[in-house]
Every structure is written in C-alpha cells, then in structure tokens.
Amino acid sequence: MIKSILKSSTALVMAAGIAFAAAPASAENPMVGGAPMYETMNIVENAVNSKDHTTLVAAVKAAGLVETLASEGPFTVFAPVNDAFAALPEGTVDTLLKPENKEMLVKVLTAHVAAGSWTGADIMAKAEENGGTWAFKAVSGDTLTAQVQNGQLYIIDENMNAAKVTIADVIQSNGVIHVVSSVLVPK
C-alpha cells in the first residue's frame, strides 16, 4: 500500500514543475525555519530548531536515525520541508510513522542522504562536468541524479521526482544540509 501511495505522489510532484536553485556558499550559515544554523552543531542538533522541518525530525526519530545523523559522518542531507511532506497523498506520512512501517520510513529517509559532505557548488560542478547531469548513490542504495538547467540545480529520484533546493550549503559539524521543497521517493 505504501509503495502505491508513494508512486502516486510522483505525478503530483512532477505536475508541480519543481525547479531547483542552489544558493552560493557564504561566510555565514543561512537561517533555516526561522532558526540560526551553527557549523559547530551536527545535523540533528540544527534540524530540531527549524520550524520548517518538524515533520522530518519526527520521522527521523520514528525511524531510529537520530544517533546515525548525529554521528561523525560526514553526510549530505537533502532535507524536505513540512510542506513537502504535506504534498504527499493524504495519509502517507501517518502511515509511514506507524511502527510496523519503520523499514519503509528508513528507506524513504535514507534516500535523502548521501555519504560525504558536498556543497551545492560541488554538486553542480560534478553535473556540469558530465554534460549537465550527475548520478550518485543515496545511503538507501537508490540513485539520485543532480541536473543543472539554466544555472539551476535539481535532485531527481529514480521515479523522476525533482526536488528544488531552496536553501543550499547549510554547513554542519558532520556534513551539509540542502533544504528541498519535495520528498524524494525511493523505488
């Protein structure tokens, strides 16, 4: 049932015509969800302060991934905002948060994480070196594709859902977060 719910979200996300813009790195971390993000704090310590990521934080807790994402890493996290989860078909988030669906929740969340610490510029450079796209593996084992079009960067999952980076290069003590406006759906 969850797979069919997640697959049905593909059309919804594609219809949204999502674009992806990477912000240039700056000397100071951006504010995320109304909260300052500190380079000295890890991914979890910063994420819990963002009012735009309460659904993501609840999901990370339910999946038992807090300790992992607070570890040394480094990780690159494509962090969907609350509105991204709300755009999924009705009941999807509630279904994923049930204890009996923990395995699927872990799969969905780890499809948003890559090993290593990659800035938006790093990702765009890799894509541009490869003719405008660059495929890489998420921790889940799924392939994500970075695509550059008209100076904008998109992260595309295996179902062809495109996620817009709305805030790039939120540097953490154990990696980097790129805020995205869509949920990447694993196969």
pLDDT at 6 over 50: no
* Tens-digit pLDDT profile for residues 127-143: 989 988 999 999 999 99
CA 5 from chain centre, in angstroms, equals 19
Query: What is the pTM assigned to this prediction?
Result: 0.84
Structural domains in the chain?
2-180 (2.30.180.10)
pLDDT (tens digit, 9 = 90+) per residue, 94-130? 999 999 999 999 999 999 999 999 999 999 999 989 9
Which pLDDT belongs to residue 47? 93
Q: How confident is the model at residue 23 (pLDDT cuts 50, 70, 90)?
A: very low
- Determine which helix (DSSP H) or strand (DSSP E) holds 142, and give its type and residue range: none
Residue 56 corresponds to which tokens in the numbers above? 């993501």
